[in-house]
């Protein structure tokens, strides 16, 4: 099935989980990855890989020795990712982002350099939002970055509880337009 059709039909079945009718635009993907220093990044984690729009761009830019972990809860999209992304640097995990620490321990990964999220945070419970943000803060290297995009405005208040260095960028060329948050400790 065509990528966009798969995305849209999965959204129709699980609107809250998917959170968007179309995959991210190339403008948004570029904005999300602008702050990533791919030369030095060894461990990159992606939350909510969907049909792999961001994953494929990470793989184009990442070094041969990098390791990329992708979390995707939707079984249909997880199966699509497993079928369509064949790269030994990638591990695709059918689990929620909130369990990141458990998976890093299992895989013997101490700390990560970047976490890139396209999770529909506005549809997650307060507890889940906070768990994902706090667990990510714990797993990031001192110079690591948590990069997120969101459609709702007051998301910053959740991030400020865990990150002191936050910058934002508005991306108009996406459906819908959104804000990218780049968070450091
Ligand atoms: C807005 S889509 C983004 C898809 C893709 N990254 C893109 O940019 O086109 C959000 C994705 O997050 C996944 N998702 C939702 N909650 C999740 C969670 N707690 N952990 C991991 N993935 C989740 C959904 O199944 C969906 O594929």
Banded model confidence at residue 151, pLDDT cuts 50, 70, 90: confident
Name which of 147, 156, 168, 176 is nearest 48 in CA terms.
Answer: 147
Average confidence (pLDDT) over 147-155: 86
Which of the 8 DSSP states describes residue 87?
Answer: -
Q: Is the CB of 54 within 6 Å of ligand 1?
A: yes
Average confidence (pLDDT) over 11-19: 96
Name which of 182, 126, 102 is nearest 150 in CA terms.
Answer: 182
Average confidence (pLDDT) over 148-170: 90
Mean pLDDT of the chain: 96
The 10 Å CB-count burial string (b at 16+, else e) for 1-15 is eeeeebbeebbeeee
Distances from the Cα of 159 to the Cα of 133, 137, 147, 148, angstroms: 7, 10, 11, 10
The protein residue whose alpha carbon is closest to atom 18 in ligand 1 is 96
Name which of 136, 140, 125 is nearest 159 in CA terms.
Answer: 136
Q: Is the CB of 139 within 6 Å of ligand 1?
A: no
Banded model confidence at residue 112, pLDDT cuts 50, 70, 90: very high
pLDDT of res. 154: 79
d(CA 134, CA 128): 10
**Distance from Cα 134 to the centre of ligand 1, integer Å:** 18
Q: Is the CB of 174 within 6 Å of ligand 1?
A: no
d(CA 42, CA 12): 36
Q: Is the CB of 72 within 6 Å of ligand 1?
A: yes
- Statement: residue 125 has pLDDT above 90: yes
Q: Which atom of ligand 1 is nearest to the CA of 77?
A: 27
pLDDT of res. 113: 98
State the DSSP H helix or E strand holding residue 174, giving kind and residue range, or none if neither.
none
Name which of 6, 72, 4, 60 is nearest 36 in CA terms.
Answer: 60
**Distance from Cα 39 to the centre of ligand 1, integer Å:** 26
Provide the percentage of residues in the chain whose pLDDT is more than 90.
95
Residues 6 or more apart from 39 whose CB is under 8 A from it?
63
Average confidence (pLDDT) over 168-176: 91
**CATH match of 3-184 with 3.40.50.150:** yes
pLDDT of res. 1: 76
Strands 112-117 and 140-150: parallel
Q: Is the CB of 73 within 6 Å of ligand 1?
A: yes
Distances from the Cα of 150 to the Cα of 78, 97, 121, 168, 176, angstroms: 22, 16, 7, 11, 10
pLDDT of res. 140: 98
Q: Is the CB of 117 within 6 Å of ligand 1?
A: no
- Statement: residue 12 has pLDDT above 80: yes
Which of the 8 DSSP states describes residue 22?
Answer: S
Helix (H, G, I), strand (E, B) or coil at 11: helix
pLDDT of res. 10: 98
Average confidence (pLDDT) over 70-91: 98
pLDDT of res. 34: 96
């Amino acid at each position: 099935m065509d990528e966009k059709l798969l995305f849209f039909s999965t959204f129709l079945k699980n609107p809250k989980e998917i959170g968007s009718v179309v995959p991210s635009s190339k403008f948004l993907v570029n904005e999300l990855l602008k702050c990533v220093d791919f030369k030095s990044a060894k461990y990159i984690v992606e939350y909510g890989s969907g049909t792999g729009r961001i994953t494929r761009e990470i793989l184009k830019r990442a070094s041969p020795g990098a390791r990329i972990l992708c979390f995707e809860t939707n079984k249909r999209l997880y199966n699509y990712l497993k079928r369509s992304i064949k790269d030994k640097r990638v591990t695709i995990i059918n689990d929620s982002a909130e369990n990141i620490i458990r998976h890093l321990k299992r895989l013997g990964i101490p700390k990560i350099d970047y976490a890139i999220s396209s999770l529909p945070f506005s549809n997650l419970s307060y507890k889940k939002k906070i768990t994902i943000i706090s667990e990510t803060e714990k797993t990031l290297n001192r110079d690591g970055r948590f990069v997120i995009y969101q459609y709702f405005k007051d998301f910053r208040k959740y991030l400020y509880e865990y990150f002191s260095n936050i910058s934002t960028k508005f991306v108009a060329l996406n459906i819908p337009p959104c804000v990218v948050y780049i968070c450091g400790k």
